[in-house]
Every structure is written in structure tokens, then in C-alpha cells.
Amino acid sequence: MYSPEPDIIHELLGHAPILAIPDFADFSEQIGLASLGAKEEELLKLAAIYWFTIEFGLCLQTDGQRKAYGAGILGGLGELEYCLSENPRFLPLDLQEITTNHLKFTVNSMQPYYFVAKSFGKAKE
């Protein structure tokens, strides 16, 4: 359920609407600013953080249900349905874990796991 590259559908349905939310736009910008002048190893870590938050981030709602906020999820009906099912693995959002053990990630197929923040505010923090 992915559209072919260049993926304008992903950009319009995934990124554009959520970049209108100031907290989300700031979150994305902070990751971008952190990349300025970064060394190759740091860029790989930032790319993984970006992937598991801005692209494929999940957080918990106040009722404990998972909520998608990542553009890679929101830009594809199949990924959205899949990430809210019980099929993938769900791990707590942990930047140390991401930058140590998850520098390689799945592109152009459903994600085998997602990192879930306690809230969007906690993900941004």
C-alpha cells in the first residue's frame, strides 16, 4: 500500500497536515537543526530518530490507546491500519535504544516494530 517514488501522496497526506501543528513543526525542525554540522555517525543516529518519530511515531492517548502521529503512517492507509493492529511489535520510545540498535530500518514495507511515546509531548521532549 505504498505509492511509487517520488511519493507526493506521502508528502501531501503525511507531512503537510501535521506540519501545520506548531509543536510538530518545531519537533521536526529541531531534528533538522541538530543535523547541521553533525558528523556521519551523528547523522545516522538523527536519521533513525527521525524515522521512528517524525515518520513512524506512535504515542499513547490518555485512555492508553495507541495514536499515530508519524507522516509515514498517516500518508498510507495500509500502514495506519497495520500499526494500530496487534501484528507489529511495540517498544517504548527510547532514543538510546534507537541510536544503538536500530540504525537500519525498513523502507517501502510495513514496519516490523514501532516505538511508542507516553505522549506526543514526551516524544518531543
> What pLDDT is stored for residue 89 in this prediction?
96
**Domain layout of the chain by residue ranges:** 8-124
pLDDT in tens, 18-61: 888 898 899 999 999 999 999 999 999 999 999 999 999 999 99
Query: What CATH number should be reported for the domain whose range is 8-124?
Result: 1.10.800.10
> What pLDDT is stored for residue 118 in this prediction?
95
* Residues 95-122: b if buried by 16+ CB within 10 A, e if exposed: eeebbeebeeeeeeebbeebbbbeebee
The band of 3, judged by pLDDT with boundaries at 50, 70 and 90, is low
**Between residues 73 and 115, which one has the greater pLDDT?**
115
Please tell me the pTM assigned to this model: 0.89
Task: Report percent pLDDT > 70 for the chain.
Answer: 95
